[in-house]
């Protein structure tokens, strides 16, 4: 019930294109869905989060959508730039966080 499935595991996009990462979960009690970005050799940092009472949230080039009925949520990055290259982790939580395995995003210049 705690597992979070994250796809794809790797993603290569041309600079300027969009990137989409999808996560699915099974625990209905989940009410908090953050996304973390981890650059090589650095600590994970929150880039955006959403709570279960909201379906979509945007912050500049980043957006997250949540479908509680289908139990999946997605990260959308538009107009990708080389500095978007990193590992992205989704997570779900009720009283603690469970993370997906991560997606390595490479933005080709």
Partner 1 sequence: KAGVTQTPRYLIKTRGQQVTLSCSPISGHRSVSWYQQTPGQGLQFLFEYFSETQRNKGNFPGRFSGRQFSNSRSEMNVSTLELGDSALYLCASSVGDRELNEQFFGPGTRLTVL
Helix, strand, or coil (residue 55):
coil
**Tokens 């009283």 sit on residue:** 95
107 lines the binding site for partner 1 (CB under 8 A): no
**19, 24, 25, 34: which one binds partner 1 (CB under 8 A):** 34
32 lines the binding site for partner 1 (CB under 8 A): yes
CA distances 1 to 4, 17, 44, 66, Å, are 9, 34, 24, 18
Least distance to partner 1, CB of residue 32, Å: 4
Residues of this chain that interact with partner 1 (CB under 8 A) are 6, 31-32, 34, 36, 42-46, 49, 89, 91, 93-102
């Amino acid at each position: 019930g705690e597992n979070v499935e994250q796809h794809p595991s790797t993603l290569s996009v041309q600079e300027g294109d969009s990137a989409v990462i999808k996560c699915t979960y099974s625990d209905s009690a989940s009410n908090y869905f953050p996304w973390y970005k981890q650059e090589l050799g650095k600590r994970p940092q929150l880039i955006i989060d959403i709570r279960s009472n909201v379906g979509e949230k945007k912050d500049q080039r980043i957006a997250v959508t949540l479908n509680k009925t289908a139990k999946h949520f997605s990260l959308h990055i538009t107009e990708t730039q080389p500095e978007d290259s990193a590992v992205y982790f989704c997570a779900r939580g009720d009283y603690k966080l469970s993370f997906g395995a991560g997606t390595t995003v490479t933005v080709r210049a």
